[in-house]
């Protein structure tokens, strides 16, 4: 992995020290909350699961690329156990966040900020977490569902990070995510892997990234991050023009197919960032940005109007 231009920035900003070359890709922080669990659930389960998931994400190689320690992708996973549906079996929600440093600044821009509410899994205290890309279903659907979900989002994080640095850079990892969807565990309580499970889920995220109708997504991420945000300190006007191009491309997708998963996924956690990008734009650029953002990110219309008035 060659992101040499930000290596120094990582070291200064985060204070990371060199370790062994070829380190794993993720710098993941995992939190497991069991405050809603009944007293019959062994409280050791929460810490053991947190440790096991942290090791699973951070100690596994998700790519064939060589990452330097300062290139690791900062991300976090908050798994909130909602109910105990059976012995050692839980329903939960999962918040996934990942960020990317912006060149020449100490700012991290969100790549992913998403909550998945379709989480059901089985975990036996102190058991090992196993995952095989060629055998996603495992032997027990509910046991396999836990690692399938976390592996899916690990590939999404790596994919979107690579996509933001190079055109089509994330394709190999989006394909791996699609492979998980197509071979996902299938059993009672397992949801989120199928089109009929809803309009916003893992299936539709992976499908949108594979669908040729949305091939502009790669351009959008590259324009927004590499040609846009990374250029803000050196050429703000050029950077804003690149972001407007990205938003125009997203608008084209939205006009052809309103309500796509990828559009909603892209904008989550970005409203303040988007608005602030154009606060100092010229009146024409500000008006164009407001027009696009009001159509693309409806839930934050008032924020955009306030920032870009």
And the tokens for 280?
């100092």
Is the pLDDT reported for residue 4 higher than 60?
no
In order of 84, 99, 124, 125, 188, the CA distances from 88 in angstroms are 7, 33, 6, 8, 15
- Between 14-18, 150-154, 171-175, 277-281, the lowest mean confidence (pLDDT) is in 14-18
Is the pLDDT reported for residue 17 higher than 90?
no
Is the pLDDT reported for residue 168 higher than 90?
yes
CB environment 263-301: b (16+ within 10 A), e (fewer): bbbbbebbbeebbebbeebeeebbebbbebbeebbeebe
Mean pLDDT, the chain, rounded, equals 92
Distance of CA 29 to the CA centre of its chain: 14
Q: What are the strands of the beta sheet with 89-101, ordered from one edge?
A: 26-33, 73-86, 89-101, 108-122
pLDDT tens digits for range 185-217: 999 899 999 999 999 999 999 999 999 999 999
- 196, exposed or middle or buried, with CB in 10 Å at 0-12, 13-18, 19+? exposed
In order of 50, 52, 83, 263, 282, the CA distances from 125 in angstroms are 11, 10, 17, 39, 58
| Average of per-residue pLDDT across 46-53 | 97
In order of 3, 97, 98, the CA distances from 70 in angstroms are 9, 18, 15
Question: Could you give the CA distance from residue 22 to residue 260 in angstroms, rounded to a whole number?
Answer: 37
């Amino acid at each position: 992995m060659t992101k040499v231009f930000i290596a120094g920035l990582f070291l200064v900003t985060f204070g990371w020290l060199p370790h062994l070359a070829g380190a794993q890709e993720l710098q993941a922080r995992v939190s497991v909350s069991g405050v809603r669990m009944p007293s019959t659930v062994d409280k050791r389960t929460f810490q053991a699961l947190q440790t096991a998931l942290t090791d699973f994400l951070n100690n596994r190689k998700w790519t064939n690329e060589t990452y330097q320690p300062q290139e690791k992708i900062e991300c976090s996973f908050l798994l909130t156990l909602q109910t105990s549906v059976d012995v050692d079996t839980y329903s939960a929600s999962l918040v996934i966040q990942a960020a990317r440093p912006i060149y020449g600044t100490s700012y991290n821009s969100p790549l992913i900020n998403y909550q998945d509410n379709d989480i059901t899994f089985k975990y036996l205290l102190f058991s090992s977490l196993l995952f095989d890309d060629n055998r996603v279903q495992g032997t027990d659907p509910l046991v396999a569902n836990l690692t399938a979900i976390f592996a899916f989002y690990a590939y999404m994080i790596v994919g979107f990070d690579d996509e933001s640095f190079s055109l089509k850079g994330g394709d190999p990892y989006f394909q791996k995510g699609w492979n998980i969807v197509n071979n996902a565990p299938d059993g009672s309580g397992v949801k989120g892997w199928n089109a009929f499970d809803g309009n916003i889920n893992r299936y539709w995220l992976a499908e949108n990234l594979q669908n040729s109708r949305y091939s502009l997504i790669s351009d959008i991420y590259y324009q927004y991050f590499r040609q846009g945000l990374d250029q803000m300190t050196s050429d703000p006007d050029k950077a804003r023009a690149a972001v407007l191009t990205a938003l125009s491309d997203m608008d084209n997708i939205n006009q052809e197919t309103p309500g796509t998963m990828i559009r909603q996924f892209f904008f989550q956690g970005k409203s303040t960032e988007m608005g602030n990008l154009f606060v100092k734009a010229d009146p024409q650029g500000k008006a164009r940005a407001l027009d696009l953002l009001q159509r693309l990110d409806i839930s934050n219309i008032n924020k955009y109007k306030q920032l870009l008035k």
